[in-house]
Amino acid sequence: MDGAGALEHLRHRARRGRPRSGDGRCLPGERRRGAGLGPGGRRRLPGRGRAQAPGARPYRPRPRARPRRPCGGGTRVSVPSLPRLCDDVRWSVAVRDADDDRPLASHDADLVLPTASIGKLVLLVEAAHQIATGTLDPSEPLSRTEEDWVADSGLWHALRTDTLPVADACALVGAVSDNLATNVLLRRLGLEAVTVTATRIGMERSRLLDRVRDDRGPGHPPTLSVGCAADLAHFCARLHRREILSAGISETVSSWLARNTDLSMVAGAFGLDPLAHTEPDRGMVVWNKTGTIETVRADVGVVSGPARTLAYAVIAAWDEPSAGTAGDPRDEVLSDMRAVGHWLRSLAQPDDRAARLAQ
C-alpha cells in the first residue's frame, strides 16, 4: 500500500472510532475525542488552569442576567385580577407599569377593535414631529374649509374664527378631541405621513384610517381608527418615559393630552377635576385620550400615584342592537370601565377605600 493509501486507510478507521495512529495521537487536521475536557468530562475553559496560546481570546465569564426591577421599587407586590367585565361586549384591555414597562394585567389585549378618536394620538405625534424637525411652524395659520366641516365633538365648529395656528388646533384635539381641528390638521400633515409615523412608533395595528365624517359611505373606510390595547398601553408607557421619537416630541404630545377634559370612563374613578388635573391632586396625576361612537367606548392613558405609575388601555365595542333585541350596553360598559379605574387607583394610590372599591 502506497503512502496516500495508508493515510486514507487510517482516516477511515478514525472515523469509525478506532485508534487513529499507533501511538494514539491525532492525525493532522483532526481533533482527538475528549480534547478540551477536564476531570469528569467537563469542558476545560480557556484561560483557567492552563496557559493560553498566543493570540487566543481571553476567557470572560458571561454576565448574569440583571434581575428586573420590582414595580414600586421594593418587594414585588402581587397584582390582583382585573374586575369582571360584562358579556356580549368585545373587550381589549392592557395595563403596564409605565416605569419599567412590565405587563401587569390584560384581557384580549391583541384584539383589534374600532377605537373612534383614539387614532388621533398618532396625528398629534406627527404634528409634534414636524414641529420639532422644522417642517411645520406651530404658529402657521390653518383655515377651515367646507370640506373639513364636521360637528359633534370639539369647540372649533362653535367658534366664529375660521383660522387657528397649528399649536392651537393641536391643543383643541388634545383637550376636547376636536373633530374639525382633526380634519384641518390631517389635511395639512397628510394621512400618509401619519401612517408612516404609526409604523415607526410600533403602532402597526393601531392607527388612524380616515378623516372624521358625519356620514360614511361604501367608498370610505368603515371607521375612523382601529387599535388594540396591547399597542396602546405600550405607547402610553413609552410616552410617559419620553421614548416616542424623542424626549421633546414626547413632552409636547403629553402636554396636549394632559388637558383632556373627558374623565367619564376609566379616569372617572380617580376623583379628579375634569377641567384642571395637570397638577397633582391627592398625589395623583392623569393624562388620557378617549374615543366614543355609538358602539365604542375607549380610554387610554397614564395615571401616576404615590405607589406607582400605570399605563392603561381599555376598549369596549359591541354591535348595534337590532329590532326586537335588548338595548345597548353602554351603561354596563361605563360601569365596568370605572371599575377598572378603581382597580388602577388601588394600585397607584393604595388605601382602604380604593381597595374596597376595586373589589
Domain around 298 = 90-358
**Count of domains in the chain?**
1
pLDDT, tens only, 152-200: 889 999 999 999 999 999 999 999 999 999 999 999 999 999 999 999 9
Query: Does residue 19 form part of some domain?
Result: no
pLDDT, tens only, 226-258: 999 999 999 999 999 999 999 999 999 999 999
> Please, are residues 223 and 112 in contact by the beta-carbon 8 Å criterion?
no
pLDDT, tens only, 104-160: 999 999 999 999 999 999 999 999 999 999 999 999 999 999 999 997 889 999 999
Query: Does residue 41 form part of some domain?
Result: no
Q: Predicted confidence band at 71 (pLDDT cuts at 50, 70, 90)?
A: very low
Entry field: residues in the chain: 359
Query: Does residue 293 form part of some domain?
Result: yes
Say what the pTM is.
Answer: 0.76
Query: Does residue 229 form part of some domain?
Result: yes
CA dist., res. 10 & res. 271, Å (int): 86
CA dist., res. 164 & res. 306, Å (int): 39
Query: Does residue 2 form part of some domain?
Result: no
- What string of DSSP letters covers 295-352? TEEEEEEEEE-SS-EEEEEEEEE-PPPPTTS----HHHHHHHHHHHHHHHHHHHS--H
Q: What is the DSSP letter of 248?
A: H
Query: Does residue 308 form part of some domain?
Result: yes
CATH of the domain at 228: 3.40.710.10
Query: Does residue 57 form part of some domain?
Result: no
Query: Does residue 39 form part of some domain?
Result: no
Residue 317 Cα distances to 121, 237, 288, angstroms: 19, 23, 19
pLDDT of residue 77: 55
